Amino acid sequence: MNRLDIPLLVQKQREFFLSGETKAYSFRRSQLEQLLHLLLENEEEILHALHADLGKSPFEAYATEYGFTMSELRFTLKHLKKWMKPTHVRSPLVLFGSRSRIEHHPYGVALIIAPWNYPLQLALAPLIGAIAAGNCAIIKPSELAPHTSQLLGELINQHFPAEYLHVVEGEVEVAQALLRESFDYLFFTGSIPVGKIVMEAAAHHLTPVTLELGGKSPCIVCQDADLQKAARRIVWGKFLNAGQTCVAPDYLLVDTRIKEALIAEIGKVLREFYGEEPLKSEDYPKIIHDRHFQRLLSFCEDGRIRYGGTWDPAGLKLAPTIMDEVGWEAPIMQEEIFGPILPVLTYDQLDEVIGKLQRLDKPLALYLFTNDQAVERKMLQNIPSGGVAINDTVMHLSSPYLPFGGVGSSGLGDYHGYYSFLTFSQRRSVLKQTNRFDLSLKYPPYSTQKYAWLRRLFK
């Protein structure tokens, strides 16, 4: 769509929303079912597009994108009617005679800006929440995943009216044109620098936003950790999608006494998962584009490579790489890696870890491997993060029962399951007072006796 058509598109969606059609349960359910049907009918094409964009194997594409989205859809369909019901709450004594409830109302027209690393899941998961809450939506997928972007455009734009849902493809200037419009809600997933631009644009219209960003998520491995299980779970979480995951473990903080044992276990797991020549593994994805590939290669100079470090420029593949002797001031430790390089740093006392991490930006995820509940409590109490997984990585975001989101520089707001519905809903307070009587306490003139009663009511 030409960017000159964007204001007209937003206007038509606003008019359709004001018709009230999107608010009925029957309408919301039918649209979710239509989306489910489209995904079922186009599974093969979706998996092919994900492979073309990121080299994802059918298994990984299904597990992290297609299957995840289908699960989110089915979960929403199962619970939507319950979510839409008003929540009745108590009224305090000062409001004697009244009844109180909380209703969930759609915002109106939502803009969803999706990234390239999980181009299906991160476009459709928020869209499911927007539909469930009764909104219209415009989706801007990433031009850096062109096959998935084009397929999303075809599926949505051919099967939903533009005044309700529409995919707008294009590069930066299209996103800029969209951000100049006044939306009722804005949902962005991407990098911290772009997130700041999005939030600034939203501020011009006082548009509420959800920002799903990232950051350097630490993975702490304590002396008592089960090293075999830790190695498998760390390697899987780090090198999933070739490390291009917002919640991937960004770096390891390992008790000095077990560093060599853990690195050895990680080496075994790497060979088990990807073979002796990981660049030839069909289960190992590629880097999204050459600029990002070159950026990652430059990080390989920031320490001693223990495993990996080989690359295929033609295929945009960088082998899973473990790096030792990395300093906190190295370039690789100054920004989110977002790729298949795992620096290993050490500590002697956990208080060192707490002191260091408290001075850094709050990460999107915190990973802790320990069997000591006292250590677990201490770390949770002292290290802030968007989410936490203990003795695992990444998997916390797969639960529709848990909110997923960041804190501070790693994001604003959360979603998944019920929390997606809440994100795209305004919670409106409703107080209904009785007409059977009218207490005169609040009305002038105010006497000493009324004042005494007032003080009792507020105790």
In SS3 terms, the chain reads as: CCHHHHHHHHHHHHHHHHCCHHHCHHHHHHHHHHHHHHHHHCHHHHHHHHHHHHCCCHHHHHHHHHHHHHHHHHHHHHHHHHHHCCEEECCCHHHCCCEEEEEEEECCEEEEECCCCCCCHHHHHHHHHHHHHCCEEEEECCCCCHHHHHHHHHHHHHHCCCCCEEECCCCHHHHHHHHCCCCCEEEEECCHHHHHHHHHHHHHCCCCEEEECCCCCEEEECCCCCHHHHHHHHHHHHHHHHHCCCCCCCEEEEEHHHHHHHHHHHHHHHHHHHCCCHHHCCCCCCCCCHHHHHHHHHHCCCCEEEECCCEECCCCEECCEEEECCCCCCHHHCCCCCCCEEEEEEECCHHHHHHHHHCCCCCCEEEEECCCHHHHHHHHHHCCCCEEEECCCCHHHHCCCCCEECCHHHEECEECCHHHHHHCEEEEEEEECCCCCCCCCCCCCCCHHHHHHHHHHCC
| pTM of full prediction above 0.75 | yes
Mean per-residue pLDDT of the chain: 96
Out of 65, 163, 246, 336, the active site residue is 246
Q: Which of 181, 212, 265, 336 is catalytic?
A: 212
Query: Average pLDDT of 23-32?
Result: 98
Q: Is 219 a catalytic residue?
A: no
Decide if pLDDT at 1 tops 50. no
| Per-residue pLDDT at 439 | 86
Structural domains in the chain, sorted by start? 3-213+410-428 (3.40.605.10), 218-405 (3.40.309.10)
**Phi, psi values for residue 206, rounded to 5°:** 55, 40
**Residue 300 catalytic?**
no
Q: Could you tell me which residue, 74 or 4, shows the higher pLDDT?
A: 74
Is the pLDDT score of 2 beyond 60?
A: no
Neighbours of 432 (CB within 10 A): 11
Give the pLDDT confidence of 270-320 residue by residue, as tens digits. 999 999 999 999 999 999 999 999 999 999 999 999 999 999 999 999 999
User: Tokens 């390989």 identify what position?
Assistant: 300
Which of 139, 145, 188 lies closest to 50 in space, CA to CA?
A: 145
Residue-wise pLDDT tens digits, 56-102? 999 999 999 999 999 999 999 999 999 999 999 999 988 999 999 99
Give tens-digit pLDDT for 376-395: 999 999 999 999 999 999 99
Quick one: pLDDT at residue 458? 84
Is 126 within 8 Å of 425 (Cβ atoms)?
no
Is pLDDT at 369 greater than 60 in this prediction?
yes
Confidence of residue 457 (pLDDT cuts 50, 70, 90): confident
Looking at per-residue pLDDT, the higher value among 356 and 93 belongs to 356
Structure confidence by residue, pLDDT tens digits, 190-210: 999 999 999 999 999 999 999
Q: How many CA atoms lie within 13 A of 368 on its CB side?
A: 23
pLDDT, one tens digit per residue, over 40-61 is 999 999 999 999 999 999 999 9
Residue range 229-246: mean pLDDT, rounded: 98
Residues above pLDDT 90, as percent of the chain: 96
Q: What is the pLDDT of residue 4?
A: 54
* Region 420-441 average pLDDT: 95
